[in-house]
Amino acid sequence: MAAKAPPVISVKDEMRKWSRSIKSQRKRIALVRTMDYLRQSHLSLVREAHNHTNVVAVSIHVNPGIICKQVIVKC
């Protein structure tokens, strides 16, 4: 069975609605913050977060002044 694609949220109110939905299910959320593109160290943080919580969210801040490579990663 293929895993469901995670939601991509780019609006603050959507994030608030999503997080409240998760919390209403009595689940905890861990946030892994990133800058520019995903690195192996970020994936290590995601894996570790899964050991401590139910749901892991990853923020990807893209600086428009920097050209970034698109990286597709499976955990």
Concerning whether 50 is annotated as a catalytic residue, the answer is: no
Tokens for 29, please give them: 């959320």
Q: Which of 42, 50, 52, 61 is labelled catalytic?
A: 42
Using H for helix, E for strand and C for coil, what is the string for the chain? CCCCCCCCCCCHHHHHHHHHHHHHCCCCEEEEEEECCCCHHHHHHHHHHHCCCCEEEEEEECCCCCCCCCCCCCC
Give catalytic residues, as residue numbers. Answer: 42
